[in-house]
Structure 1
Amino acid sequence: MKLKQSSAIVALCAASSCIRVANAKLSLIHDSSYQPRPSFSITRNVVFDLRGGASKKRGGRTASLYSNSSDKKATKTATGKKKVQAHKEEKNSAVSDTFSKYKAILPVTRAYITMVGAVTLLGLVLGDELSQGLLALDPIRVMYGLELWRPFTAACFLGPPSIGWLMNAYYLFEYGSSLERAFGTAQHLVFILLQVAFLSLFSAFFGQPFFAQSVITSMLHVLSRSMPNQQVKWLIFTVPYWTLPYGLMASDVLQAGNAAAALPHVLGILSGHLYYFHKKVWPRMDGGEDWLVPPAFLTRIVEGGDRSKAKDSISIALKTRKKGKGKKLGS
């Protein structure tokens, strides 16, 4: 009996101690200062680290398995280097575009501009002194030494590369293309050859070693005489077309600060007017005849037989057509 009572007392004591421990834990949990012991738990980052997945970087950027890299693959290889074929395609497109523009220039104007570039490059290689001795117009060497290239090199040399050189080359392209488009390739070739002949005589008389600027002024003079009263814009002024050669001469004189700069322009106006008079004015007079028509063989060589035949057929058709009153539309 005593043993049963003692065991019951022990059980009651144990139960009361368990209740106290439980109450103490609950009070500690409700207390904000209580911090539980750190326990081992497998988080998401731990799982990613264990399996080698993507994790957050220091810079705030995350790696993406679906990032768009198609633009880089278009011009780069797997190693990150630029494709050789892509660079070649860009280079070939630029070169082919430039070559196509060069081929689009009219034939005589293209040949003249090519000669200007070749003579300029030769002048750079030789230097000022040697280029003056080899390329300049020298009547004695032309007549007695048979150095027949000098009139042509004197007509093509614009000086060393500079802003003035670029402007003169642009004028040569613009005015030459306009004349060749208006007169035809064969007639423009006759014009260039006559200008070289006239200006060789004038430059030899006045002691001018080069006359490429005079050729440009002669082109502009012939164009301006073809439509003299047309209003064009020059700098900030609106002037008649026939005044442009004189305006170009005045601007060069002001830039050089010397009246001698007007001489090449005066020679160009004189030689251009000789051509224009015998081509446009003299045939309109009584008994006048156009002496500057290109020969038939030159037209066939330069323009081709098909073009000359087409022009002849068109001119014959226009001359032989019957003139009538015509008919109204719908009748």
Structure 2
Amino acid sequence: MDVFWTLPPVTRTITAAAVIISALGYGGMVPLMPLVFFRERILHIPPEIWRMVTSFLITGPKLSIVLDPYFLYNYGSSLETESPRFTRPGDFFTYVAFVALVILATGGMILRGYMFLQALILAFAYTYSQDNPTRRVSFFIITFEAKYLPYSMLFLTFIMAGPQEAMIQVCGLLAAHLFDFLTRIWPMFGGGTNYVTTPRIVQKWFGADNPAPRARGYGTAMPARQGDGPAQATATGRSFGFGGAWNGRGPGRRLGGD
């Protein structure tokens, strides 16, 4: 349990819930039908809104009970701990909520899908491939660059589960691409504004008011504390001899002098 609580919080929660619910469901201990997504039940009065969450926590049957949680945790934890997109507390949670809502709107409301875990996994894989396009990854027995990963996963779904399941999984790719467009491509190259930001309350949920160093793939992130500003930065700079107008410098000596 100590190891479990050290894992990335969002990914570990989704993965653990998917393993437990799927194992109980396919083992015949709990019914899965009340947990899958039905558009009519969402629009029903009162709406069965829990289906909007539980439909992302059911794996496929048989071997997918093992493979789906593996891929979910592998790419989700890599994004949550290493991606430069998610540097503030709660950023990865906002990303998951955004892509999930887009998947529900497209795969659920339009395509009438029932389960969306594989679409969420494909969204993770797509964002992972955008962050690491040339990294070598292994998919079953094949090794290739990560930029081909989401399309390989989609092709496998098409072959094994058919075009309908592949179309629903495509919704995950579209959701992740829309997130990338709204948060990176449009603000950076189109001069637009990024409106998909992490609300302050979500940042508080993930410890924004109690900053602590976070290990990341490219170093250790030191979250900014509330109230840190130019004065704090100046004070830090002076402590190393670089603040203000070089106020922290020593008396100086002329090179070559006595």
Q: TM-score range by the shorter chain?
A: 0.7 to 0.9
1:158 aligns with 2:63: no
Give the whole-Å Cα distance in 2 for the aligned partners of 1:140 and 1:315: 51
Q: 1:143 is matched with which residue?
A: 43
SS for the counterpart of 1:156 is coil
Q: Say which structure, 1 or 2, has more relative contact order (CA 8 Å, 6+ apart).
A: 2
Q: 1:112 is matched with which residue?
A: 14
Q: 2:152 is matched with which residue?
A: 247
Identity over the aligned pairs, expressed in percent?
22
Q: 1:44 is matched with which residue?
A: none
1:189 aligns with 2:93: yes
1:311 aligns with 2:212: no
Give the whole-Å Cα distance in 1 for the aligned partners of 2:23 and 2:144: 37
* Bigger share in helix: 1
TM-score of the superposition, structure 1-length normalised? 0.59
Shift, 1:209, TM fit: 0.6
From 282, 291, 294, the counterpart of 2:198: 294
CA separation of 1:124 and 1:253: change in aligned 2, threshold 3 A: closer
- Following TM superposition, the consecutive aligned residue runs of length 4 or more in structure 1 with deviations greater than 3 angstroms are 124-128, 229-238, 258-261, 313-318, 320-323
Q: 1:219 is matched with which residue?
A: 124
Give the whole-Å Cα distance in 1 for the aligned partners of 2:40 and 2:163: 28
Aligned length: 224
CA separation of 1:315 and 1:171: change in aligned 2, threshold 3 A: farther
Structure 2 spans left out of the alignment, 5+ residues: 214-221, 244-254
- Say which one has the larger Rg: 1
TM-score of the superposition, structure 2-length normalised? 0.74
Shift, 1:166, TM fit: 0.5
Q: Deviation digits for residues 244-280 of structure 1, max 9, x if unmatched?
A: 0011122233334x33342233111111111111122
Give the whole-Å Cα distance in 1 for the aligned partners of 2:67 and 2:76: 14
Amino acid at match of 2:90: A
From 160, 179, 184, the counterpart of 2:79: 179
Would you say the 8 A contact 2:208–2:223 is kept in 1?
Answer: no
CA RMSD of aligned residues (A): 3.2
From 120, 134, 141, the counterpart of 1:229: 134
Would you say the 8 A contact 1:299–1:308 is kept in 2?
Answer: no
Equivalence map 1:17-166=2 (5 Å): 99-124=1-26, 130-132=31-33, 134-144=34-44, 145-160=46-61, 162-166=62-66
Would you say the 8 A contact 2:22–2:65 is kept in 1?
Answer: no
Q: 1:275 is matched with which residue?
A: 179
